[in-house]
Each structure stands twice: as C-alpha cells, then as structure tokens.
Amino acid sequence: MKLTLKIWRQKNAGAKGNFIKYRSDDVSPEMSFLEMLDALNKKLVEEDKDPVAFDHDCREGICGSCGMYINGHPHGPVPAITTCHLSMRYFKDGDTIWIEPWRAKPFPVIKDLIVDRSAFDKIQIAGGFISINAGAAPEANSILSPRKKSDKAFDSSICIGCGACVAACKNASAMLFVSAKISQFALLPHGRIEAKERVRAMVEKMDELGFGNCSNTGACEAECPKQIKLANIARLNREFYKAY
Amino acid sequence: MEKLVSKVPDGPLAQKWTKYKTAVKLVNPANKKKLEIIVVGTGLSGAGAASALGELGYSVKNFCYQDSPRRAHSVAAQGGINAAKNYQNDGDSVYRLFYDMIKGGDYRSREANVYRAAEVSNNVIDHFTALGVPFARDYGGTLDTRSFGGVQVSRTFYAKGQTGQQCLLGCYSSLNRQIKKGNVKMFPRREMLDLVVIDGKARGIITRNLITGAIERHGAHIVVLATGGYGTIYYLSTLAVNSNASAAWKAHKKGAFFANPSFVQIHPTCVPQLNEFQSKLTLMSESLRNDGRVWVPKIKDDTRQPNDIPEEDRDYFLERRYPAFGNLVPRDVASRAAKERCDAGYGVGKTKLAVNLDFRDAINAQGKNSIENKYGNLFEMYKTITGSDPYEEPMRIYPAGHYTMGGLWVDYELMTTIPGLYAIGEANFSDHGANRLGASSLMQAAGDGYFVLPNTISNYLADDIRTPKISTDRPEFAEAENAAKERLGKLMSIKGKQTASSFHKRLGKIMWDYVGMTRNEAGLNKALEMIRDLKEEFWKDLIIPGTADELNMELEKAGRVADYFELAQLLIADALNRKESCGAHFREEYQTPDGEALRNDKEFAYVAAWEYAGEGKPHILHREELKFEEVELKVRSYK
C-alpha cells in the first residue's frame, strides 16, 4: 500500500521542530510500524539523508524503549500494544499518518521522536525498591503471600516504563507509573515495611520533576500498552494519606 | 605452553565453592570505597553485580547503551528461572540440577562452574522473592513452580510469561537503591568502544556518548563485562535488535580468549518470518510445550485447515521420535526435528517453514481458563503479531537464533585471560556447554552477578588496594581513544551506497543458511568465502549520513556489523575445528544412522579457547581439557 507520513523532525533539544512529509510506496500489511519506518530510513540513508531517529530495542513489546504519538494516540490507534507490535494491517492504502514524539515537559525531545525519560528513573531511584542486600534474604517460602494479592501485585508490576501514560495525560501526570510500583510493593507483605517512606519519596520526586497531578480523566489507563488500571492511582492516594 | 588455568579448587565437587569462599582473600571495608569497578551492561548479571558490589561498598560505575538500565534484554526472557528448591517433593536437588545442566550441555561445560551455578540458584530465588518479584504462588501463599524443557522435575519459578521482566525489574530496583546511596553511578546511552589495558591489566574503557557523540575515558581497578550474547549475528533472532557483541569482541582483540563461539542455541518456538523487512523473530516461551503438541501433516502440501486435519493424518513428530520426553525435549533437539520435517517438505504456512503448536487437546482437557492463566499474555502476543487466535487454531512456529553458549573464556573466578577483566552472564562461556537448558539463563546470570562475582573479585582486589585511582591521563587511554576515533572516522569516510542494516541482513542470511542448525565442512568453507567478500564490500560501499559528533544510529549499527564480520569468521573456524556433533553444534558428517548427534569425547572433550593473533592472522587455539570427576559421559538420549 501507499502511505503519506507526516513526521516530526527536530535536529536536537534546542532546535525548533516541524512536520516533514514523506511518501512510502511499498508498505506491506505484514510489516510492523517500526519496520515501516525502517524501510523509510533505508531509503533516506541511501540518499545520504538523515534518517528519522526513534528509540526501539526488543521489538516484542516488553523493553519499553519505543513509543511515539501516531494519529493522536500514544503507540497508535490499537489499544493495549506498544508501537513495535502495531501491525500495518491496521492501516489502509492512501492513509496519511501523523507521527510525533511524546509531548510532556518532563520528557524533553532529544531528537526527532526520541525523548529523555530519565525522570522516570529518578522517581524509581527515590524509593522504588525494597531494602535488602544480596545474601540477607530469608528462605523464599518463609515469606507467604496470598495468591490473590500476589497476582494483583503482578498486574501492577508489568509496567514497562514507556511513558505513554504521561504523554496521554493533559496534566503530564506520572501517577499511573508511580502508582504501579507503589501498588506492587504495597500488596506484598514484606513491601509494607517501607511503605510510608517509599510513597513519600516517590511522590515528592514526581512533583519535583514537574509531572502534573491526576484529575481522573483516565487517558493514561486507556492508552497504557500494558493495561495498568486506574485503581492503582486510588491505591497510591490511600497509601499517600496513610503515610502522613 | 598452556595459558589456560581454570583455577578450579581442589576437593569434592559439592564442597569446592564453600571451600573457596572460606579461603578467598578479602578486602577491608575501609578500602572498598577506594576501589573502582566498571560494570558494562545492566541485565540480570550486570545490574545484579553492580548492586551487590555497591552493597559491599565498592565504587561502581555501571554502563548501558539503552536510555535506562531497566531495558536490558534480560527483560524479554519469558518462561522462568530454575532453582533446586525441591518444593514439589519430586526428587530435585542441587546435584540433580547440576546433572541436568551437564547432560543438557552435552558434556562440554566445566563441572565445578555448573555445580556452583546450581548451588547458588536457591540464593537467587530467595533474593528475588525478598526484592518483591511477584513470582506465581499457590493458594496457600507459597511459591509455585512448573516443569520446563529437557527435565523431569518441576523446578522452574515463573511470573506468567514475563519472568525475565520481573527479575530484571527486581535487579533494577536493587540497582536504584545503590544509585541513591551513591555507591553506583549510572551511565546510560553509552557504548563501549574499547578496553584499556595498562601493564597487562584491565584498567578502564572508552565509551561513546550516544546522544552527543562524545568519546569518553573511564578508569577503574577492574572491568566487568555483562554485555550478553551475540545472537544478532544471524540478523533475525529473538534478541533485541540493538544487542551486539562489540564490547566482548573489543576485549577479545585486547587479549581475552573467546571460547566455543560456534555453540549457538537455536530456539524451537518462535513466530516465523512474515515479511522481507522483518527485523526480529519473536520468541514464544517453550513453556508452551508443556501443554502444546507439535505436529505437521502426514500428507505433503496438505491444503486443509489445521483443525480439519484428522488425528490419523497428523504427525506428532517429537512424540513419535522421542517417546520418553515427547514435546519436552531440549531446544536443540526440538529445533533440528522441526527443520528436518520442513526440509522434507512437510512444513506448514505460506513459506512452508513452520510447524504447528496445537493447544486443542490441552484446552479440551483443562479448560480454556486454565490455559489462559498459564499462557494468556503469550497467546495475546501471538495474536497481536500474526492476527491468528491460538485458542481457535494451532500456533505456527519455527526455530530462530536465541542464545549463545559460547563467549569470553573465564576461569572459576569468572576472570578472563586479561587480569582484572571479568565476564559474567551470557557474555561468558562457562555454564551451559554446547546447549543451554530452559530457564537456566536467568538463573546463571543472576547467580553470577549477585552471588559469584562479589565473592571472587576480592581475591584479585585484595592485592590491588595500594593501586591509586586509575588516571585517565595515562598514554594507554589516549591510545585507545585515538584508535576508537580513527575507526569511527574510517567508517564515516567510506561514503558508499549501502546501509549497515542491509549488510547485516546479508551476513545473517549466510550465517543462518550455512552456520545455523546444521553445519557441514563444504558449507562452512563456502560461508567463510562469502563473508570475506561481503566484509570487503562493506568497507568499500557502506554509507552513513551525518557526522560522528552527534546522535547517529547508523554509525552505531555500522560499528556493530563490522565487528560481527570478524566474529563470524571465528565462529566458523570454531565450527570447522569441532569435528563432532554436540548439543546445538550439529555437523552433518557426524551423526548416528537415525540422525542424532554423534559426540566424540576422545578428541573433543575440551573447551576451544581462541586467542586473537592480529589483523588478518588466523586465531590460535588453546584447549582446556574437560575433566569429568563426578559424572560419567553418556550418550545424551531423550528417547
């Protein structure tokens, strides 16, 4: 199929960006979205032109590297998947596709579609851990955890840190991201030990880095490729109140 | 003269590690802070090592090419992580896990290292659980396990099909704690361009900042490579597309021997190639083989839909050939059996390069819910990629390059042949022999990082406490930096017509066709010739737009492909040298009449460790004889 691509090009963090129009004439429906961009880049490189820069790595939806706004949706129009898993069979011949980087103040653009997400790491560094040294752990089955709670902890822990929630939020809030980690540990018996310190530290860091607050719009949940639930934010709020 | 000293401690196998730890030299806590350690890579082994060393009080610098340490490719491991806990009361033990690994590796690994990996596996599970990794649990609150390819006990701990992600995020959290404490300094978006060796010892690295293009010098008392495997040498593989062997290869060229490069595991259950622009092959966890049955039609070119093909027209070829293990045979055996059927013309799908993995019987027996609980996310992933629903019709799968058992040669202390340079996780060669068993990769990587390396490095560092901070003004740093810059300049200046990826793709095709699941002498020689020509073409006709002083992904790719040409040549030399079939290395000339691997213990029960002899010169082979004191060498049979 033949496609028109309008891609955000920005030389570096300081430069002014704009949309550039490209044509892609031989896109097959079996390609992934990133493979479609690979094909475009191959053509650009062969013409000695600067290829479109984007983050990507595992290409199986788990590393969280890739992420771009496609036709107004983080990771594109299909729910519950990452950009690397978006198949071109969801587009049709003659389509125009708008491709942009995440737009959020705490995620400045580095180049084209690549943004700086180190703010996410900083929040995790502030408190996203259980304090235990290698060698100090008790026998694994001495920590019993009800299966239902442990399964819930798992459902929160599968966040891949891609940043789609922040990009989707009108407030650029990181509450879904933070609440997923808070929930994972809050639901495990040994995660409760540092629950208060953890939630204070992570929320404080989140605020300090310029992420906005949650106003219950739910765009984050709707766009999350791993379907992390809004209920996590409610739990984050409860944990936060309990911590003071 | 033999340069390989494995430093395996004396005494009975089961007591070696304990004995080693009681005798090892220690570093005074006050001195640890003054000792700097570079760890390259942030997967289970790298992040594990960086955190554990930080916890001990060393000054650690940790590097990764990704934007965050949380994205290292350990994240993609699916099925599980082994430990000898014997929670199921099914007769498991450290010895049995050790034995399964030795046998699974087809008797080409070092007994003492394997035993130690099995021994620390229990510490790994304890530690991950304590870090908050949400492993699957039973209703009573205890940890659950499942059985996994190639073994008859249930010892695999798992977190649905995302065990690697959960374990990696556990490592990432412990790493973050040390970053917060100031014990670890993190350097993301850095690529290691060279190793700096001073007076014969590893003393630092040269990196390129992937955002600014700046070339940087980093000094340290020791350097640890946790840089993973070289499976992307096949271009299409289950690895992350940016995974590469360049750090290990640079270290090799500086004097670290490369061991058993031809031992590459081809994973049997991957989504087959769908289009010519395909950039990777996605793995479908082999845990699926616990409930899925592998089959092809008995009739060639059968055009019926798989569900319309009756039982009597289906060839469940794994169950037929290997009745004892059936669909649970190890990966190398399953991969070759699938290739055999497809080569014989019984493959399914458009390309005929696929076999069915069918859950119909399991869904009928256990109900859809039970199957969804175990494999829900894998089924979804398959549907997302292919558009076909595995609850309704069989998955189509085909083997793909996956894990490299070969890697930098290390001794019992995980030190390479360069003093002060260590290799851990998939980057080393030591624990999986000629074939790795499922769920033992996470186990070994985390074991190396958290529990082995922190115990062995003090033996070296105890003698290094008087060495002051390594100055990066030393001429060796300038030399390495200049060499790295010169090479980048050389790549930039070719100004030809073809992209790095297009060369990589062609290299991968040669490797897959001639150096993949089966190999023979004529094919290997042909591949050598083709690669020589392709490499020459690369250095004449590569194109990279832009400059080296900015974010330039084409330049990154080109450097990695250039190294792969060289590694490919060594991989083939190793495959030619090993005139036997063992594990994943299958030489067609050496097989039994019914097509099984024919090992030659008399001549090849050794580790082939290759020494770099200089540009254009053939590598020098060093042999580490493998002595089996505990196990008896047997024909590996899964019939």
What residues of A are in contact with residue B17 (Cβ under 8 Å)?
Answer: none
Kindly compute the dihedral angle of the four CA atoms of residues B210, B212, B215, B216, in this order, to the nearest 10 degrees: -90
In a domain, A122, yes or no: yes
B377 CB-near residues (< 8 Å, 6+ apart) = B160, B161, B162
Assess whether A102 and A127 both reside in one domain: no
Nearest-neighbour CA in chain B from A10: distance (Å): 12
* Amino acid identity for residue A124 in this structure: Q
Q: CB count, 10 Å around CB of B615?
A: 7
| C-alpha closest to that of B434 among B633, B280, B300, B295 | B633
- Whether residue B171 contacts residue B139, with contact meaning beta carbons closer than 8 Å, is answered with no
Residues A34 and A124 in one domain: no
Sign of dihedral through CA atoms B317, B320, B325, B327? Answer: positive
Which residues are B63's β-sheet partners? B40, B187
Mean pLDDT by 10 residues, chain B (639 residues): 84 97 96 98 98 98 98 94 97 97 95 98 98 97 87 92 96 98 98 98 98 98 98 97 98 98 95 89 88 96 94 96 90 92 93 94 96 88 91 96 97 98 97 94 98 98 97 98 98 98 97 96 98 98 98 98 98 98 96 91 97 96 95 84
Chain B, window 344-383: residues with a beta carbon less than 8 angstroms from a chain A beta carbon: 381
Q: Cβ contact (<8 Å) for B497 and A46?
A: yes
Whole-angstrom CA distances from B336 to B302, B380, B517, B522, B568 are 22, 27, 6, 19, 21
Q: Are residues A156 and A92 in the same domain?
A: no
**Within a 10 A sphere around the Cβ of B26, how many other Cβ atoms?**
12
State both tokens at B601.
């213990």
Q: For chain B, positions 61-80, list CB contacts with chain A under 8 A.
A: 66-71, 73, 75-76
pLDDT at B1: 42
pTM of the predicted model as reported, rounded to 2 decimal places: 0.97
Residue A168 included in any domain: yes
- At A146-166, the pLDDT tens digits run 999 999 999 999 999 999 999
Distance CA B560, CA B244 (A): 6
Instruction: Give residue A86's Cα distance to chain centre.
Output: 15
Q: CA distances (Å), B586 to each of A99, B150, B262, B519, in order?
A: 46, 18, 10, 6
Q: Which CATH class is domain B485-606?
A: mainly alpha
Structure tokens, B597: 């691997």
Range of the domain at A121: 117-131+141-242
Burial of B449 (0-12, 13-18, 19+ CB in 10 A): buried
Do A164 and A107 lie in one domain? The reply is no
Whole-number average pLDDT of chain A = 97
**Residues in chain B closer than 8 A to A31 (CB atoms):** 275, 277-278
Query: How many Å lie between the alpha carbon of A219 and the closest alpha carbon of chain B?
Result: 22
Using CB atoms within 10 Å of the CB of residue B637, give its burial: 0 to 12 exposed, 13 to 18 middle, 19+ buried.
exposed
CA separation (Å) from B416 to A175, A198, B5, B175, B295?
Answer: 45, 40, 10, 25, 44
Please give the tally of structural domains in chain A. Answer: 2
Q: What does the alpha-carbon distance between residue A174 and residue A123 come to, in Å, rounded to a whole number?
A: 10
In this complex, which of B68, B132, B179 lies closest to A188 when CB atoms are compared?
A: B132
The answer to whether position A136 is within a domain reads no
Helical axes B553-577 vs B500-515, angle rounded to 10°: 20
Residue B364 Cα distances to B47, B124, B307, B371, B373, angstroms: 43, 37, 14, 10, 15
Quickly list H helices, B344-474.
360-366, 368-386, 441-446, 453-461
A14 and A32 co-located in one domain: yes
* CATH code for the domain in which residue A42 is found: 3.10.20.30
Alpha-carbon distance of B491 to B578, in angstroms, equals: 34
The beta-carbon neighbor of B385 closest among A46, A65, A85 is A85
B68 neighbors B169 (Cβ within 8 angstroms): no
What DSSP character marks residue A95?
A: -
Asked if residue A234 and residue A204 are part of one domain, the reply reads yes
Contacts of B181 in chain A (CB under 8 A): none
Q: Is residue A24 part of a domain?
A: yes
Name chain A contacts of B76, Cβ cutoff 8 Å: 58, 60, 62-63
B131 to chain A, any CB pair closer than 8 A? The answer is yes
Average pLDDT over residues A168-187: 98
**Cα dist. B152→A189, B194, B272, B293, B560 in Å?**
33, 44, 29, 17, 40
B321, B331, B336, B341: which is the annotated catalytic residue?
Answer: B331
The pLDDT of residue B329? 87
- Rounded to 5 degrees, φ, ψ at A100 are -135, 160
Amino acid in the structure at residue B441: S
Q: Report the pLDDT averaged over residues A67-94.
A: 96
Phi, psi dihedrals of residue B212, rounded to the nearest 5°: -100, -15
Alpha helices in B316-396 (DSSP H): 317-321, 331-343, 360-366, 368-386
B92: tokens are: 């498991």
How many helices (H) and strands (E) are present in chain B, helices listed first?
Answer: 18, 19
pLDDT, position A157: 98
Helices A147-157 and B163-181 pack at an angle, to 10 degrees, of 70
Q: Which of B330, B278, B272, B50 is nearest to B175 (CA)?
A: B50
- The continuous run of DSSP H or E covering A201 comes out as helix A195-208
Which residues, including other chains, have CB under 8 Å from residue B637's CB and lie 6 or more apart? B596
Pairing of strands B201-209, B156-157: unpaired
Domain B268-401's class? alpha beta
Helix %, strand %, coil % of chain B (to 5): 40, 15, 40
User: What are the DSSP calls for B185-211, one per residue?
Assistant: EEE-SEEEEEEEEETTEEEEEEEEETT
List of residues 6+ apart from A73 with CB closer than 8 A: A168, A223
Determine the distance in angstroms separating the CA of A137 from the nearest CA of chain B, rounded to an integer.
Answer: 5
- List B611's β-bridge partners, or say none: B620
d(CA A129, CA A117): 19
| pLDDT value for B152 | 85
pLDDT tens digits, residue range A195-243?
999 999 999 999 999 999 999 999 999 999 999 999 999 999 999 999 9
Burial B74-84 (b: 16+ CB within 10 A, else e): bbbbbbbbbbb
Identify all chain B residues contacting A140, using CB atoms and an 8 Å cutoff.
85, 125-126, 129-130, 143
Closest approach of A126 to chain B, Cα-based (Å): 7
Q: Is residue A220 part of a domain?
A: yes
Question: How far apart, in whole angstroms, are the C-alpha atoms of residue A159 and residue B166?
Answer: 10
Own/partner pairs, A131-135, CB within 8 angstroms, 24+ separation: A131/A194, A131/B177, A132/B127, A132/B130, A132/B131, A132/B174, A133/B52, A133/B55, A134/B48, A134/B51, A134/B52, A134/B55, A134/B123, A134/B127, A134/B174, A134/B450, A134/B451, A134/B454, A135/B123, A135/B127, A135/B451
Is B188 touching A (CB cutoff 8 A)? yes
CA gap B25, B42 in Å, rounded: 27
Question: What are the residue boundaries of the structural domains of chain B, listed by start?
Answer: 268-401, 485-606
Chain B residues in contact with A154 (beta carbon < 8 A) = 134, 159-160, 166
**Does residue A45 sit in the same domain as residue A15?**
yes
Between B139, B275, B498, which is nearest A30 by CB? Answer: B275
What's the one-letter identity of residue B8?
Answer: V
First to last CA, chain A: 58
Cα separation, A111 vs A64, in Å, equals 18
Contacts 24+ apart (CB under 8 A), B617-620: B618/B573, B619/B570, B619/B573
Q: Which of B51, B126, B211 sits opposite A110 (nearest CB)?
A: B211
| pLDDT at residue B413 in the model | 98
Q: Is B331 a catalytic residue?
A: yes
Residues A122 and A94 in one domain: no
The answer to whether position A172 is within a domain reads: yes
Mean pLDDT of A123-143: 98
CA–CA gap between residue B72 and residue B70 (Å, rounded): 6
- B293 strand-pairing partners: B358
B209 to chain A, any CB pair closer than 8 A? The answer is no
